[in-house]
Structure 1
Amino acid sequence: MITGHRGAAALAPENTLSAIQKAVESGIEWVEIDTQLSADNIPVIVHDKTVKRCSNGKGCVGELTLAELKALDVGSWFSNEFAGETIPTLEETLLACKKMV
């Protein structure tokens, strides 16, 4: 079994819908993603405890609201191609996966 780590993190910004889509396009049937709760208790897909490494923001995921997390760009650090990519919620991710299959 081949599993995409944080989606296809070598092809798109990790833990994004684009990374999961790239995994699907590459024929990967399974992906591993990371989930944390936002300050308003919404499950979001992000690995690090802070948003510093993979976004244009700063702060702890659990101390930021969903609106604050959604305002961040989590794609530009990877490539201009992914500028404007946002942190997906678990619900958005599961719905997107259902459509990708």
Structure 2
Amino acid sequence: MVDRPSRDGRDSSGYWLWALASSTQLVAGVVSYRRGCSGDSRLMPFKAFVVASLFVGAGATSAAGLLNFFGIQKVEHLKELGANIRNGLGVPPRDTTR
């Protein structure tokens, strides 16, 4: 495993925990989805909510893990990344006076 220091000097090697959490939630969501609706049909809305929450949680933890891995810990870092991408594509800077 590669230890990648972040922009402010903190160690960001804990990204694998986020990846593990994301993978676990994704597997739990797939297993629950494949199992389908068994038992009392009145619980179907609750079961659907639980499965959807697992998929949303997996997406959120994987996004947080990727941001942590790449050393982005502040909104300013994300804004800087967006500005760099826009400059690389040749898009003019955004007007922030509004």
Normalising by structure 2, we get a TM-score of: 0.23
Q: Which has the higher contact order (CA 8 A, sep 6+)?
A: 2
Who wins on radius of gyration, i.e. which is larger?
Answer: 2
Report the structure, 1 or 2, having the larger strand content: 1
Normalising by structure 1, we get a TM-score of: 0.23
Report the structure, 1 or 2, having the larger helix content: 2
